């Protein structure tokens, strides 16, 4: 009788261990599968969003006969030893016409403090326009940067949230020759900014 009871207890222990193993393994499998699906969905969403933004930049570039259209986004980056963030702006999207150099990785990001006057004017005035870089009187650092990139004319418009927080800006460059834009073209840029802000913020 004792042997029979001992066998039952042993089988019960094996059964409990087996059930525990299956439930644990099954739980891990389901969790991993769910996380993979979640990551895949997020990745697909990012790819689709990027495609929409690049398509909008491409269309704007063609509509304006521009040479380069791009988006810079603001971020904090790392921190100084004082604890203050290294506020920067980085090129996250760019479309260039055939034969025009891509500048998104050259160098790719800039400190706001070095271009504070330019950023401040763009944010306060809702745009920053340079009709002819060669005739710029102020912002020597910006003029040097634009000259290095081969820019003849530049138009930047801030990308803002519904609560009026500036998260980046859309830029249009003319490289072949200086160009002025008219009111209709400016409206096209602003319309593109609003559409692209929806993609970036969602």
Structure tokens at 168: 């980046």
| Inside any domain, residue 112 | yes
Q: Does 109 sit behind a cis peptide bond, omega within 30 degrees of 0 on the bond before it? A: no
As for how many domains the chain has, the answer is: 1
| Inside any domain, residue 20 | no
Q: What is the pLDDT confidence band of residue 201, given thresholds at 50, 70 and 90?
A: confident
pLDDT digits (tens, 9 = 90+) for 5-54: 455 555 666 666 676 766 676 666 666 666 666 667 788 888 899 999 99
| Inside any domain, residue 194 | yes
Distances (CA, A) of 39 to 32, 51, 53, 160: 10, 18, 21, 28
| Inside any domain, residue 49 | no
**Residue, of 33 and 63, whose pLDDT is higher:** 63
- Angle in degrees, 0-180, between the axes of helices 2-64 and 183-201, rounded to the nearest 10: 180
Lowest mean pLDDT among 87-91, 106-110, 141-145: 106-110
Adjacency order of strands within the sheet including 88-96: 109-111, 88-96, 68-75, 166-174, 153-160, 128-130
Q: What is the pTM of this model?
A: 0.77
Taking residues 110-134, what's their average pLDDT?
A: 94
Which pLDDT score is estimated for 44? 86
Cα angle vertex 52, ends 46, 54, to 5°? 100
| Inside any domain, residue 78 | yes
- Where do runs of H (alpha helix) occur along the chain? 2-64, 116-125, 140-148, 183-201
| Inside any domain, residue 8 | no
Which pLDDT score is estimated for 11? 61
Q: Has residue 150 got a pLDDT over 90? A: yes
Please tell me the total number of residues recorded for the chain in this structure. 202
| Rounded-to-integer distance, Cα 14 and Cα 192, Å | 66
| Inside any domain, residue 153 | yes
- We report the CATH number of the domain holding residue 74 as 3.30.450.40
| Rounded-to-integer distance, Cα 165 and Cα 169, Å | 12
Q: Has residue 1 got a pLDDT over 60? A: no
| Range of the structural domain that residue 127 is part of | 57-201
| Inside any domain, residue 193 | yes
| Rounded-to-integer distance, Cα 200 and Cα 72, Å | 11
Q: What is the pLDDT confidence band of residue 164, given thresholds at 50, 70 and 90?
A: confident
Q: Which of left, alpha, beta for 65 (phi over 0: left; psi -120 to 50: alpha)?
A: left
Helix (H, G, I), strand (E, B) or coil at 65: coil
């Amino acid at each position: 009788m004792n042997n029979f009871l001992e066998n039952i207890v042993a089988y019960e222990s094996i059964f409990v261990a087996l059930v525990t193993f299956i439930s644990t393994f099954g739980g891990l499998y389901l969790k991993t599968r769910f996380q993979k699906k979640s990551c895949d969905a997020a990745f697909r969403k990012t790819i689709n969003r990027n495609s929409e933004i690049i398509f909008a930049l491409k269309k704007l570039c063609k509509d304006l006969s521009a040479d380069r259209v791009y988006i810079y986004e603001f971020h904090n980056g790392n921190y100084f030893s004082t604890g203050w963030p290294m506020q920067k702006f980085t090129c996250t999207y760019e479309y260039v016409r055939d034969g025009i150099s891509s500048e998104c990785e050259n160098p790719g990001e800039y400190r706001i403090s070095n271009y504070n006057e330019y950023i401040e004017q763009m944010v306060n005035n809702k745009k920053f326009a340079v009709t002819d870089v060669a005739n710029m009187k102020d912002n020597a650092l910006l003029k040097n940067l634009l000259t290095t990139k081969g820019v003849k004319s530049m138009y930047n418009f801030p990308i803002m949230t519904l609560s009026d927080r500036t998260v980046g800006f859309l830029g249009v460059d003319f490289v072949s020759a200086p160009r002025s834009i008219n009111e209709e073209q400016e409206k096209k840029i602003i319309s593109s900014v609003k559409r692209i802000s929806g993609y970036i913020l969602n």
